Amino acid sequence: MYSLPKKVTIIEVGPRDGLQNEKNVVPTDVKLLFIEQLQKAGVEEMELSSFVSPKWVPQMSDAKEIVTNVKKVGRQFVLTPNKKGIDLALENGAKSVAVFVGVSDSFNKKNINKTTRESMNELKPLVEKLIEDGYFVRACISTAFYCPFEGAVDPEKVTELCKEFVSWGVQELSVADTIGMANPKESYALFHTLINEFPHTLITAHFHDTRKMGIANIFAALQAGVSRFDTSAGGLGGCPFAPGATGNVATEDVVNMLHKMDITTNIDIDELLNAVDIISPYVSRPIETGMYKLFKSK
């Protein structure tokens, strides 16, 4: 019989992954209210925004206002792929930085305009310096299962890339099914390998939910020993450079499942739904939370 953790950490990625693919420009003050309400709900770790080219991802062009105006409780990440973004993150007071790279070259080229190797060569000295200076660095690994351009990705290539990041000293690896095509067998196998290979590094799973296998993949990763998950309030999300990818698994669905299985998250689901209500009128896709509200406090 498998064993499950007693506590799971949710890394809320709604303000970043959730909104980056959203066509409607969400006003900065609404994003700040959303983040504040997520913190009030008990979210301790969050991706707030990203420092990326405002031409490539206009929705994230207010990253500076977001990063400087939120309460820095717990780990509040800003995501970036390059030196310019890391410099901006530090100038604006970030203490925790998330860097990202794709395992497959074709995706990395579309996302960052570099090969995977070029990205890794740029990131190595920057990440090592961040670690030396006491910052918390999370490395986000995209296309860890499937690439929208190359198909299935070799798990050994994922482990090799993770090994490189770990050798630089990153404290966390967030390993992603970018286009939501992985199945629970693949999720268990990869996370079982990573948990055993990197016992001193936080291992986080990041699932998009394109084929509705996201929550099953989370359960498989839990069985493999993962106790950290990136999720997005309202199930928003997707990478603008990964065709066909849909939202992350909804935070409320994951928190609900975990609480029903007596696994704590420190998140208050009613307050979390209040955060979904803040963002819902500003996004183009409908968010379904009616059943949770019906059963509220029951």
Q: Give the residue nearest to ligand HMG (CB).
A: 85
Q: Which is nearer to Mg ion, 17 or 105 (CB)?
A: 17
Structure tokens at 260: 């029903």
Rounded to 10°, the helix 83-91/116-132 angle is 30
Length, in residues, of the chain = 298
Q: Determine phi and psi for 282, rounding to 5 degrees.
A: -100, -5
What whole-number distance in Å separates Cα of residue 230 and Cα of residue 187?
14
With CB under 6 A as the contact rule, the residue among 7, 84, 129, 293 that binds ligand HMG is 84
Is 17 a binding residue for Mg ion by CB under 5 A? The answer is: yes
**Which residues in 3-22 contact ligand HMG (CB under 6 A)?**
17, 20
280: tokens are 């819902």
How many CA atoms, within 13 angstroms, populate the side-chain half-sphere of residue 165? 33
Contact residue for ligand HMG among 14, 15, 18, 85 (CB under 6 A): 85
Instruction: List Cβ neighbours of 136 (8 Å cut-off, separation of 6 or more).
Output: 75, 95, 96, 97, 171, 172
239 contacts ligand HMG (rule: CB under 6 A): yes
Rounded to the nearest whole angstrom, what is the least distance from the CB of residue 262 to ligand HMG in the complex?
Answer: 29
CB of 1 to ligand HMG, least distance (A): 32
In the window 134-193, what residues touch ligand HMG (CB under 6 A)?
140, 142, 176, 178
Stretch of residues binding ligand HMG (CB under 6 A), selected from 75-83, 162-170, 190-198, 213-221: 75-83
- Helix ranges (DSSP H) in the chain: 19-20, 28-40, 63-69, 83-91, 105-112, 116-132, 155-168, 184-197, 214-223, 251-260, 269-279, 290-294
**Region of 81-89, 215-223, 263-271, 276-284 interacting with ligand HMG (CB under 6 A):** 81-89
Residue 217 contacts ligand HMG per CB under 6 A: no
Shorter beta-carbon distance to ligand HMG: residue 209 or 252: 209
How many residues touch ligand HMG under the rule CB under 6 A: the total is 27
Catalytic residue among 140, 147, 162, 239: 239
Could you tell me which stretch among 64-72, 106-114, 155-163, 187-195 binds ligand HMG (CB under 6 A)? 106-114
Integer Cα distance of 210 and 152 in angstroms: 16
User: Is 239 among the catalytic positions?
Assistant: yes
Task: List residues bridging with 264 in a β-sheet.
Answer: 7
Cβ-count burial of 138 within 10 angstroms (0-12 exposed, 13-18 middle, 19+ buried)? buried
Closest CA to 174 of 43, 75, 41: 75
Segment lying near ligand HMG (by CB under 6 A), choices 28-36, 68-76, 110-118, 193-201:
110-118
Determine contact, residues 236/16, Cβ cutoff 8 Å.
no
Using CB under 6 A as the binding rule, whether residue 100 contacts ligand HMG is answered as: yes
Instruction: Find the binder of ligand HMG among 92, 113, 193, 223 (CB under 6 A).
Output: 113
List interacting residues with ligand HMG (CB under 6 A). Answer: 17, 20, 50-53, 55-57, 80-82, 84-85, 88, 100, 111-113, 140, 142, 176, 178, 206, 208, 239, 241
User: Catalytic positions, please?
Assistant: 239
List interacting residues with Mg ion (CB under 5 A). Answer: 17
